[in-house]
Structure 1
Amino acid sequence: MSLNEQIMAELLAKANSLPKSPGCYLMKDKDETILYVGKAKNLKSRVASYFNKSAKSAKTQILVSKIFNFDFIITNSEAESYVLENNLIKDNRPKYNIRLKDDKSYPYVQVNKSHAYPKLEYVRRPKRKRGVELFGPYPSGSNISSVMRTITKAFSLRDCSDWDFSSRKTPCILHQMNQCSAPCVEYISKEDYAKDLENALKVLKGNRNAKKAIKLLEQRMGQFAEEEKFEQAAMLRDYIEELKPFLENSFDQKVEFLNEKNVDVFSCYKGEKELDISLYMIRQGSLLGHKSFNFYIEDLFDEISEEVILFMLQYYGQSSEPLPETIVADLDRDQSKNFEDALRKTIGESIKFSVVSGEGKYRPLVEAAKQHAQESQRVRMENQESEYTGLHKLKDLLGMTERPRVLECYDIAIWQGKSPTASKVVFHDGKPDKKSYRHYHLQELPEGNNDFAMMKEVFERRIKKRPLPDVFVVDG
């Protein structure tokens, strides 16, 4: 019996001694580095399947060939195993687990009501905080930024920073231009400012109350005209005209059959080589936009539905955006319930939301999201735009046995003959992993600029830290 066969036999014997409980398992290499984290309803059956003689995909065979040991953690339920798996992947970043990369964010308008005189703030990645009210997301950053400025001026809200607000002794020029009520020097009471803020928020909410807020502006415009303050009346007229397109879009309800106003819809399409997941985002009853994600099928070790649940846990666990009222997933009812339980444990029981299966009235939305996933994959494949295609070409070019997953790229820079510096950028599955980017400050050598010696210093420092990437790319 060869050494590898002996190791597999020992691992299989260990796996057969595991309990038939739900839980997570951690596959490790000879250096005790975690290669892969998985979950199972039945730990004994799932872990043993890696080491018995059953048929395995090429990717699984490569993973198994590198396993020298494994650990396991028992959980009380399948929902708990989802939560634990998600946390273990986030903490250990195993090489063979898929990672979510979501670089697309939508803008929000934020109001911090814990401040005595709140203002409207534009944010891209809002944080869940007590006392903070969010409006959005909105499809266009530049458009909502312009709308926010118009609302601020129309209702004479403050637009200054908190530091400027607290340090000001006299009103700023915006007050002189009739664009701010100068709460910084108490030219307006908290009660009156709160009324103006509430009317401003009615516009952002995009409901029927917004018409009342606009009617109030029209009344003020008429009052200014009667008092022969024509410049101020003209300003309000212009503000109302600027807000009309925003209000018309807000009243246009495109998804009329839904009772809920804020819904996320997930669906997926499994092609020959890749899995595409599509997310449709419905906000205020209208289809706001979508996000698309794709993964290489050989990287998936569990059933597609299990991988989709883990993906959604990662997505909402990493996001600071407020959850929608309803999450619709192309899962059966038991899977939807498990996902909802796991998500509540991940983000907190107090947040109100519900998860439903993609049946009944939600079926058209699920099918639309699935069709989008299918078409996205078709276009990407026909145009060879998949990052996995390039990585497989690199594998063949370098004569590697598996697709490179982690690439580290290095370059040297020198400023006017001094201050030598090296930079490292990292790609994981063809996507930038910016959290792993690094700078190296190097020694100034007596012989001057010696790129080889400086790169030698970089790699001597780098290889002391594990794990190493699949490919080093050096400029020079």
Structure 2
Amino acid sequence: MIKMDNDQMISKLQSQAKRLPNKPGVYIMSNEQGKVIYVGKAKGLKQRVKSYFTPKPASGKVEAILKEIKTIDITITITEREALILENTLIKKHNPKFNVLLKDGKSYPHIEVSLKHDFPKFSFHRGKRKLKHARYFGPYPNVYAVRNTLNNLQKIFLLRNCTDSYYKNRSRPCLQFQIKRCSAPCVDRISHEDYSFNVNQAVDYLKGNDKSIIDKFIHEMDKASKDQNYERAAFFRDQVANLKVIQSQQYVDGTKKVDADVISLIGERGMYCLAVLFVRQGKILGSRTIFPSKTKYDSHQEILASSLMQFYLEHDVPREIILNQSLSEKKIIEQALMESQKRQTKIKDRVVSYRAKWLKISVANAEESLKSKLASKASISNQLTDLTLALGSKQKLKDLVCFDVSHHMGDESVAACVWLNEDGFSKKDYRRFNIKGLTPGDDYAAISNAIERYYKRINDEGKNLPDLLIVDGGKGQINSVKKVLQSLSIKGQMIIGIAKGDKRDPKNDRIFLEGFKNPVDMNGKDSAKFLVQSVRDEAHRFAITGHRAKKRKQLLQSDLESIDGIGPSKKRNLLTQFGGFQEVKRASVEDLVTVDGINKNLAKKIFNHFHPN
């Protein structure tokens, strides 16, 4: 570990850097508070670290780092590719100030097929692949893409979508059979052989073999027609028509069984957009756009390389990665991905034919998303400028935080906090607070409680205050919040309250500024007023969704306790074994009797309570 004092930082680090080993590894730079501000990798640590402490800084980024750096830690690795993997793992962990950060915390959903069951179902799956006897298809860019695909599978192949416990306990077909979305294997309306045929065709569909499926369906249609089984022939005729409609809705090259992520990085005016087009078995599953942050000091190449590594530390690597530009570190990144995922991949930037078409789509997505984001940012920036002028602030307001509370007649109170900056609403900074031990329905006390907890944490962590605190309410709410901040010795926080006007018409909303008796004159300042209302409405939405989730959980809990024979102890045993209320509802009688204290009669009671039909 290298340490330094403020008055001799450069000279001391220079001399100590000379003693570092010239081996591959990672260096971690921290500030006076011990917070990691930069993580870098090097083929030779000695040469790389020494380069920071030259008389003239090599770049604006180096100059900015040198103003804050206090310590450096190093970790030696065997190879440069190991250093690359470790570097990006640490970036994800520490979120350093001077590293590019790919803010994509999502795990992409897949379609799961459990092949262990005699009559398998195709279902939505997110997270780790737990089942050994299962196949997974994806990744899909979002939940909608998975639901849409599952919907198509049901429509074309008449596959069940019910839980195993529901399937086991059917005595007659459900509604899905009536509307021709399921073949009802639960009550033997289809043979195991025919259902297996449908499953195999569905798997082929997910693998992109649309043409072979259509050929098989046409063959079955002709065969049924010759046998004068016109109902079966009509079924296959309709399925062929459905498949052709779906085919026409997306670009598919069924002859090319390519698994690829087609990635484009586009930058403009200091902002960058990374678009990922997911292609599996020659079929486009959808796309996703991500906006890397902290890109001020980095080149296009550095942003792309860092984004790639961070993305594939959390997601599966396909056989091919197609880029819209060349990458100087292509080979080392390929090796690092091979080492981290135990799967070989090829990075390509010169493509033709269908790959070029995919790349064109990816670039178009990136350009359009970036254009939209820049326009939104410009609009928000202008609104923040207008609000700054309207409130008479000496400095431009850039970070706004707003609190609201939601409850039903005082029950299950939830307070919420949302954050807005020049990039828009910052979801990662949203917070919810369960309110307990206060007078039911006392909004003043609830918001004050949430603000006290929130600002206490800001104090403890040494974070900067937001430029403006917004509360839903008038002067009384502002005064209540002011007392809380005074008790925490927080000074200089600008506070406004937004009070609903006559007839709850947004046009009549009034904005009060702390320290002033009358509302702020917002005439001719519509954009500033609209911004405050938007933030207030978002806080209200976030509070309501939290309250509803809490209420739903409480109702489910009461629902379970209403079953004769279920007390606190048995309820606890059920929840512990199944992991939640929804899982208890889905459990079969056979599953329920495995719980301590639940006999067969009680298990039937529980099952019948949740499945009355």
Q: TM-score range, shorter-chain basis? A: 0.7 to 0.9
Structure 1 position 89, deviation (Å): 1.9
1:345 match:
339
1:65 match:
67
SS at match of 1:471: coil
Q: Aligned match of 1:148 in 124, 141, 153?
A: 153
The equivalences for 1:94-113 within 5 A come to 94-102=96-104, 109-113=111-115
Deviations 1:445-466 (A, max 9, x none): 6796347853552245413653
Structure 1 position 206, deviation (Å): 3.7
Q: Aligned match of 2:263 in 247, 261, 266?
A: 266
SS at match of 1:463: helix
421-430 vs 70-79, which deviates more?
421-430
Structure 1 position 84, deviation (Å): 0.4
Question: Is 1:308 paired with 2:304?
Answer: yes
Q: CA distance change for structure 1 residues 388 and 11 in 2, over 3 Å: closer, same or farther?
A: farther
CA distance in 2, matches of 1:366, 1:270: 20
Is contact 1:35-1:95 (8 Å) kept? Answer: yes
Is contact 1:57-1:298 (8 Å) kept? Answer: no
Q: CA distance change for structure 1 residues 271 and 202 in 2, over 3 Å: closer, same or farther?
A: closer
305-314 vs 270-279, which deviates more?
270-279
Q: CA distance change for structure 1 residues 395 and 446 in 2, over 3 Å: closer, same or farther?
A: closer
CA distance in 2, matches of 1:40, 1:395: 45
SS at match of 2:322: strand
2:532 match:
none
Is contact 1:23-1:72 (8 Å) kept? Answer: yes
The equivalences for 1:98-177 within 5 A come to 98-102=100-104, 109-122=111-124, 125=126, 127-128=128-129, 130=132, 131-134=134-137, 137=140, 141=145, 144-153=149-158, 157-172=159-174, 174=176
1:471 match:
466
Indicate the structure whose relative CO is greater, using CA pairs within 8 Å and at least 6 residues apart. Answer: 1
Q: CA distance change for structure 1 residues 398 and 367 in 2, over 3 Å: closer, same or farther?
A: farther
Letter in 2 for 1:149: Q
SS at match of 1:72: strand
TM-score, L = length of structure 1: 0.75
1:93 match:
95
| Rg larger in structure | 2
SS at match of 1:35: strand
CA distance in 1, matches of 2:29, 2:234: 70
Give the unaligned 5+ runs of structure 2: 472-613
2:416 match:
423
The equivalences for 1:171-210 within 5 A come to 171-172=173-174, 174=176, 180-185=182-187, 190-207=192-209, 208-210=211-213
SS at match of 1:96: coil
Q: CA distance change for structure 1 residues 236 and 35 in 2, over 3 Å: closer, same or farther?
A: same
CA distance in 2, matches of 1:86, 1:71: 16
CA distance in 2, matches of 1:316, 1:265: 13
Q: Aligned match of 1:327 in 292, 297, 321?
A: 321
Q: CA distance change for structure 1 residues 318 and 385 in 2, over 3 Å: closer, same or farther?
A: same
Instruction: State the number of aligned residues.
Output: 455
Structure 1 position 410, deviation (Å): 4.4
Letter in 1 for 2:345: S
CA distance in 2, matches of 1:79, 1:470: 40
Letter in 1 for 2:137: L
CA distance in 2, matches of 1:420, 1:251: 49
Q: CA distance change for structure 1 residues 419 and 7 in 2, over 3 Å: closer, same or farther?
A: farther
Structure 1 position 429, deviation (Å): 8.2
2:86 match:
84
SS at match of 2:154: helix
Is contact 1:412-1:422 (8 Å) kept? Answer: yes
Question: Is 1:413 paired with 2:410?
Answer: no
Is contact 2:23-2:43 (8 Å) kept? Answer: yes
SS at match of 1:91: helix
Q: CA distance change for structure 1 residues 330 and 242 in 2, over 3 Å: closer, same or farther?
A: closer
Q: CA distance change for structure 1 residues 106 and 85 in 2, over 3 Å: closer, same or farther?
A: closer
Is contact 2:266-2:367 (8 Å) kept? Answer: no
SS at match of 2:33: coil
Is contact 1:11-1:51 (8 Å) kept? Answer: yes
CA distance in 2, matches of 1:11, 1:391: 45
CA distance in 2, matches of 1:374, 1:133: 28
Deviations 1:53-105 (A, max 9, x none): 32355554444322221211111222111110121122223343332234899
CA distance in 2, matches of 1:360, 1:173: 49
Q: Aligned match of 1:356 in 324, 347, 365?
A: 347
Q: CA distance change for structure 1 residues 370 and 411 in 2, over 3 Å: closer, same or farther?
A: closer
Letter in 2 for 1:244: K
CA distance in 1, matches of 2:54, 2:384: 29
Structure 1 position 356, deviation (Å): 3.0
Q: CA distance change for structure 1 residues 189 and 420 in 2, over 3 Å: closer, same or farther?
A: closer
Deviations 1:418-476 (A, max 9, x none): 76643234579836664554322346567963478535522454136536256365223
1:462 match:
457
CA distance in 2, matches of 1:425, 1:251: 40
Give the unaligned 5+ runs of structure 1: none
Q: Aligned match of 1:336 in 324, 330, 340?
A: 330
SS at match of 1:168: coil
Q: CA distance change for structure 1 residues 299 and 112 in 2, over 3 Å: closer, same or farther?
A: farther
94-103 vs 427-436, which deviates more?
427-436
TM-score, L = length of structure 2: 0.61
C-alpha RMSD of matched pairs (Å) = 4.6
Question: Is 1:30 paired with 2:32?
Answer: yes
Q: CA distance change for structure 1 residues 271 and 420 in 2, over 3 Å: closer, same or farther?
A: closer
CA distance in 2, matches of 1:339, 1:461: 43
The equivalences for 1:33-48 within 5 A come to 33-48=35-50
SS at match of 2:461: coil
Is contact 2:153-2:202 (8 Å) kept? Answer: no
